[in-house]
Structure formats: C-alpha cells, structure tokens
Amino acid sequence: MILVVGLSHRTAPVDVRERLAGGPTALPAVLARLAVRSELEEAMFLSTCNRVEVVARVRRGSAGLDGARRAIREELAQQGGAVSGDHLAPYLYEKRDDDAVQHIFRVAASLDSMVLGEPQILGQVKDAYDAAIAAGTLKGTLARCVSRAFSVAKRVRTETSIGVGTVSISSVAIDLARRIFGDLSDRTVLLIGAGEMAEAAASSLVKGARTLRICNRSFDRAAALASAMQASAVPWGELAAELVSADVVVASTASPTYVVTVEMVKRAMKARKGRTLLFVDIAVPRNVEPAVHGINNVYVFNVDDLEQEVARGLKARHAEVEVGERIVAEEVSRFFAWRRGLEVQPTVVAMRSKARAVFFSEFERSLGGRLKHLAEGDRAALTQMLESALNKLLHTPTTRLKARAAEGEDGMELAAAMRFLFDLQEIAVAKEHEEGEVAETSFASAEGDERLPH
C-alpha cells in the first residue's frame, strides 16, 4: 500500500508549516530516520514552502497500515522539534493507495499548488526523488510511482494552458507590490536571498523597479544574480542599512531563523522618518519576524497572505484544471493496471521456470542417450529451437493472464488456477518478493526513464 501523510497550505498555517520545513541540509537526516523504520518499505520526504509530507510504501507484516501511519507521524513530529503529535494531528492529511497516487501526480503537476501551474514544484519533487534514490529509501513500486509523476506533469503542462500567465509565488508577490505602490518604476526593491525563488522574483522585478538590489549571505551568489539581472549586489552585513532606502523588500532565504527582526526595522523606520515599507516574505520558514507587521507604516505579507491574490486567477484557469484532472485520472488508472500486473508476475515466473526445467531436463537426457552423437553446432541449434518453442507456448497464457490482472478482473483467480494445475504454489510463494521487485525494475526500464530534466 502507498501512503501519504503530511500538511500543506490547505490544512496548516505558515507558523505550523515552517516548524516542519526541512531544507537540503536537513533532508539526509530525515531520510536516514525513515530508512530505519521497519514499518516502511520505501519512503520519500518532500518539503516546500507550501507543504511538508512523507510519501511511503507500507511494509507487509504485523505492523501494517496502523504501524506505518504511526511511524510517519512520529517522524513528522520529530522534524517539528517542539511540535507534539497531538498538536500536529489536526493539520495532517492522510491518503492511501488510489488517493495517494492521485495526490502524488497532482502535486507534481502543480494541480495542488497555491498558484496553479507554478513550475517550481516539479523541480522540488525531483530533488526529493533524487535524494531518496541516493539514500536508498526509494527502490521499487513507489520509485516507479514518483518517476511516473514526472511524465504526468509533462502531459499536464503540454496538453493544457495551466502554466500560461502568472504561475509562481514570486510573480504573485510582485503583482501585490504593484497594486500597493502602483508603478514600481520610481521605487527601490531589495531582494533578500539569491536562490531559485529569488531568481524568479528578480526576473519580474527587473522589468519594473527603478532600482533592484540583491542581498545574500554569499556575496558571490548575489553578484552573479545581480549581473544577470542588471541589479546591484549588497554584502550581507549591510542588510540593516539597506532597509532605510528600500520601498519593497522581498525575502526568500533558506534561513531557519528570522533575518529581519523587529529591532532592525524599528531602527530603519526611524531613519526613514516613517516612510511606508512593504515586506513580501515568500520564505518558509519565514524570514521576517511577524511582529514587524505591528510597526506603523510597515506591512508584511507572507505566503498565506498571498493565497487571496492567487484566488483571483483561479476562475480563468478552471477549464484547464479540469483537463489536468482528467489526465491525472487516466494516469492513476494506468499505474494501478501495471501494479495489478505485478501481482501475477510470481506465477508467470514460476510457470516459465518449471516449463524450462522440464524441457531442458528431457533434452539433457536425450543428449546423453540417442542424441549423444550430435555435434556442438547441432546441439546449439536444438537449444535455440527449444527456447523458441518455450516462448511461443507460454506467450499467449502469459499475456492473457497479465491483461486480465491489469483490467482488474479475474487475474488473481486465473493465477491461482495456473499454480494449482501445474503445481506451482511453492515456487510462486518462494519467488514472490524477489520477482516482484525485479518486475518493478523491468517495467520501468521497458517504458524508459520519463523524468523531466531538472
């Protein structure tokens, strides 16, 4: 069973989400903890500004679903530090099997994002996938499911117009600044941070602001982004001074603590003589101390505040969302058809193994008797003939069995009948786990690696 447990902008406010958020540096530790949970066969940890969730495959055994649910909730509570499991429970959602796969596909396709169609989420899911693969926590059915999600996202983006227009938190933030200040052409904008979201914000800002300045802990990174955007780079130590001259401050660093504090802003506002200052904090955890919003003529908007802005464009995209949801539904059906086919794979493998053993046992006996005079070339030709005959004999029952299983009809009953008629039960059971994993790998290889480039 595939299981998703987590929270998002739909279920938890930013002050809860930021306590569980884990950046690239935290990811190895979280995956290491998930890897040793005996209740989980596979696991992936996804943390973005709008969601924190564990995607897992439940290990078969006595712990079952309840054990897996408990394990994930415990790990999320540990990730939250002081957040207790009881405090966290009201904010968590849980999705299983069909609903879980649908959720994974929708998230990758940006159908569950605060800003529908935003492109960043696909890269974030891929980063989480790559980290889990490297950590060895993704290796079978779940790995195939997440890999398939990349193809679903590609279909949604190419077969709909959901990504046209304003499609990122960064661009929505800039739209908000324009509505408050009007034309930004006479304003100074300070960008705190130089990561992916900062770069997206800079792309929008450089087209409208009079002056764009970029402040980042790594000055080299700030300078590189500033050079690309025709902006000015600012050393991190001058952040407080920059608040005196800026009109709009867009904060998007990965800092786990506030980089803009109440005292810092109070000093800046005294020097500004009360001139209005707008903060747009698109980071999770938040970069701007919430109490800053209480200072006169200072306004702070965080990612939750941007949700109302996002809702404005939702109606215009409704038709595209419907098309995207239909694509997801098709792909979920396809994924489960493949997985049902896996359930009969041990029987198929056992049937081929037994048939081959019988064929070649008789062949070897003949080579030791009436056919012992055959030359090496003739023996090779007979071996090839037997292999071909075996493949032709088993092709039809194999394909029909897999097809019936994929259609969700009587595949398991037919597999049971095959095991009974050919006395395959012991072989099938012994190989079930091993061949299941082999089948997962071979299926993925047969279809090709459909992941999008990052």
**Does 28 sit behind a cis peptide bond, omega within 30 degrees of 0 on the bond before it?**
no
Q: Would you please indicate which residues are annotated as catalytic (active-site) residues? A: 49
Contact by Cβ (8 Å): 279, 288: yes
Residue 93 main-chain phi, psi, to 5 deg: -110, 160
Question: Cα(18)–Cα(49) distance, rounded to whole angstroms?
Answer: 8
Contact by Cβ (8 Å): 112, 159: no
Residue 153: CB atoms within 10 A of its CB come to 28
Contact by Cβ (8 Å): 278, 248: yes
Question: Cα(79)–Cα(29) distance, rounded to whole angstroms?
Answer: 10
Could you tell me which residues are beta bridge partners of residue 437?
Answer: none
Could you tell me which residues are beta bridge partners of residue 302?
Answer: 281
Distances (CA, A) of 20 to 49, 53, 126, 305, 425: 10, 9, 20, 19, 47
Q: Kind of pairing, strands 2-8 and 93-96?
A: antiparallel
Structure tokens at 323: 């098309």
Question: Cα(142)–Cα(157) distance, rounded to whole angstroms?
Answer: 23
What residues contact 434, with CB distance under 8 A and at least 6 apart? none
Question: Cα(412)–Cα(208) distance, rounded to whole angstroms?
Answer: 63
Structure tokens at 85: 């499991």
Contact by Cβ (8 Å): 419, 425: yes
Question: Cα(126)–Cα(108) distance, rounded to whole angstroms?
Answer: 9
Distances (CA, A) of 431 to 341, 350, 394: 15, 8, 19
Question: Cα(61)–Cα(143) distance, rounded to whole angstroms?
Answer: 21
Could you tell me which residues are beta bridge partners of residue 8?
Answer: 51
Distances (CA, A) of 359 to 13, 23, 289, 362, 426: 66, 57, 75, 6, 20
Q: Which amino acid is at 422?
A: F
Could you tell me which residues are beta bridge partners of residue 300?
Answer: 279
